[in-house]
Amino acid sequence: MRFINPIPFVRDINRSKEFYRKRLGLRILEDFGNFVLFETGFAIHEGTSLEQTVWGKASAGEEPYGRRNLLLYFEHEDVEAAFENIAPHVELIHPVERQAWGQRVFRFYDPDRHAVEIGEPQNPGPAGNSHG
């Protein structure tokens, strides 16, 4: 068994594709229309088509997919530069702050209100997890 990646549902695939490409600088590896895979392994899927595939029907609501129960985590070598480039274009959760485990991060919402965290690179602990 090998974990590959989570796939966040998005309402507007083009809006989200441009957000992650332009704002976060992710490069597209494959674009299948309703599914986009970025070079880092991060992927997004147009929500209603994936709902149809997985559950056999799309949900009726138009509420945001983000539910404050998932954090999309990215790292950037220069967290301050990333903040300066991204912050003016997003709804911030908080600016750059040092966390209890010493890492500096900032957090914001993507267009579907998924919480996104950008942190400075960390040396992984024994379990390979940066978060403490």
Say whether domain 9-119 belongs to CATH 3.10.180.10.
yes
Q: Residues 42-75: pLDDT tens digits? A: 999 999 999 999 999 998 888 899 999 999 999 9
102-120 CB burial, b ≥16 within 10 A, e <16: ebebbbbbbbbebbbbbbb
- Cα(113)–Cα(81) distance, rounded to whole angstroms? 23
Q: Looking at residue 59, what is its pLDDT?
A: 86
- Cα(101)–Cα(131) distance, rounded to whole angstroms? 7
Q: Residues 8-27: pLDDT tens digits? A: 999 999 999 999 999 999 99
Q: Looking at residue 71, what is its pLDDT?
A: 95
Q: Is the pLDDT of residue 124 over 90?
A: no
- Cα(7)–Cα(5) distance, rounded to whole angstroms? 6
Lowest mean pLDDT among 58-62, 74-78, 108-112, 115-119: 58-62
Q: Looking at residue 120, what is its pLDDT?
A: 97
Alpha helices in the chain (DSSP H): 13-18, 47-55, 79-86
pTM given for the model = 0.89
Q: Looking at residue 62, what is its pLDDT?
A: 81
Best CA proximity match to 46, nearest among 14, 68, 71, 21: 14
Question: So where are the chain's domains?
Answer: 9-119
E strands, the chain, in order: 9-10, 28-31, 35-38, 43-46, 71-75, 91-98, 104-109, 115-119
Q: Looking at residue 125, what is its pLDDT?
A: 59
Q: Looking at residue 60, what is its pLDDT?
A: 82
Q: Looking at residue 126, what is its pLDDT?
A: 54
Best CA proximity match to 8, nearest among 49, 43, 55: 43
Q: Over pLDDT 70: what percentage of the chain? A: 93
